[in-house]
Amino acid sequence: MDPMVPRSLSSHKRNQQFRGGQPFHGPGLHATVRTVWIPEFKRARIQGQRRRNQRTAMTLEADMTKAPQADTPTVSTKLMQVMTPNGKVVDKKFLASMPQEDIVRLYEAMLVQRVYDERMIKMQRQGRLGFYLACTGEEACAYGPAYALEDKDWFYPAYREPGIALWRGMPFQAWVDNMVGNCDDPVKGRQMPVHWTAREQNIVSISSPVGTQIPQATGSAYASKLRGDGAVSICFFGEGTSSEGDFHVGLNFAGVWKAPAIFFCRNNGYAISTPYEKTTATEHIALRAHGYGIRGQVVDGNDVLAVIKAVREAADWARQGKGPTLIEAKTYRLAAHSTSDDPKGYRLEKEEAMWRKRCPIKRLKIWLEKEGLWDDDKEQACIEAASDRIIAALQVAESKPHPELDTMFNEVFADVPDHLRRQHEALQAHLESGTADYQPR
Of 30-44, 229-243, 409-423, the range with the lowest mean pLDDT is 30-44
Question: Does residue 181 lie in a domain region?
Answer: yes
Whether residue 114 sits in one domain with residue 39: no
Whether residue 127 sits in one domain with residue 201: yes
Question: Does residue 2 lie in a domain region?
Answer: no
pTM: 0.82
Please state, as a whole number, how many other Cβ atoms lie within 10 Å of the Cβ of residue 253.
Answer: 19
Which amino acid belongs to residue 364?
L
Distance CA 307, CA 327 (A): 9
Whether residue 21 sits in one domain with residue 117: no
12 catalytically annotated: no
435 pLDDT band, cuts 50/70/90, is: confident
Distance CA 55, CA 352 (A): 55
C-alpha to C-alpha distances, 346 to 89, 332, 349, nearest whole angstrom: 34, 14, 10
Whether residue 436 sits in one domain with residue 300: no
Whether residue 336 sits in one domain with residue 287: yes
Whether residue 255 sits in one domain with residue 164: yes
Q: 140-148 and 100-125 helices cross at what angle (nearest 10)?
A: 140
Distance CA 153, CA 147 (A): 11
Distance CA 379, CA 373 (A): 11
Which residues on adjacent β-strands are paired with residue 155?
A: 203, 234
Distance CA 413, CA 407 (A): 12
Whether residue 82 sits in one domain with residue 157: yes
Whether residue 421 sits in one domain with residue 353: no
State the Cα torsion 57-59-62-64 to the nearest 10°: -70
Question: Does residue 354 lie in a domain region?
Answer: yes
Question: Which entry of 295, 333, 358, 363 is annotated as an active-site residue?
Answer: 333
Give 67's DSSP letter. P
Where among 65, 84, 104 does a domain terminate?
A: 65
Whether residue 85 sits in one domain with residue 107: yes
Q: Please, what's the largest Cα pairwise distance for the chain?
A: 99
Q: CB within 8 A of 338, min separation 6: which ones?
A: 131, 132, 133
Question: Does residue 1 lie in a domain region?
Answer: no
Question: Which entry of 114, 195, 295, 337 is annotated as an active-site residue?
Answer: 337
Distance CA 198, CA 175 (A): 9
CA-nearest of 70, 260, 31 to 154 is 260
CA-nearest of 168, 217, 235, 170 to 196 is 170
Question: Does residue 88 lie in a domain region?
Answer: yes
Give the mean pLDDT of 81-94: 98
Domain that holds residue 228: 75-399
Give the mean pLDDT of 411-437: 87
147 catalytically annotated: no
Decide which of 42 and 284 is more confident: 284
Whether residue 224 sits in one domain with residue 94: yes
Give the mean pLDDT of 33-51: 52
Looking up residue 235, the CATH number of its domain turns out to be 3.40.50.970
What one-character-per-residue DSSP string does 19-41 give? TTEEEE--TT--TTSPPEEEEHH
Whether residue 241 sits in one domain with residue 136: yes
Distance CA 226, CA 418 (A): 37
What mean pLDDT is reported for the chain? 88
Question: Does residue 70 lie in a domain region?
Answer: no
Domain count, the chain: 3
248 catalytically annotated: no
Contact 246, 217 (CB under 8 A): no
Structure confidence at residue 55 (pLDDT): 53
Whether residue 86 sits in one domain with residue 32: no
Distance CA 311, CA 82 (A): 13
Task: Order the strands of the 233-238 sheet from edge to edge.
Answer: 75-80, 295-300, 325-330, 261-267, 233-238, 154-156
pLDDT higher than 90, residue 380: yes
Structure confidence at residue 211 (pLDDT): 96
Question: Which entry of 50, 125, 346, 430 is annotated as an active-site residue?
Answer: 346
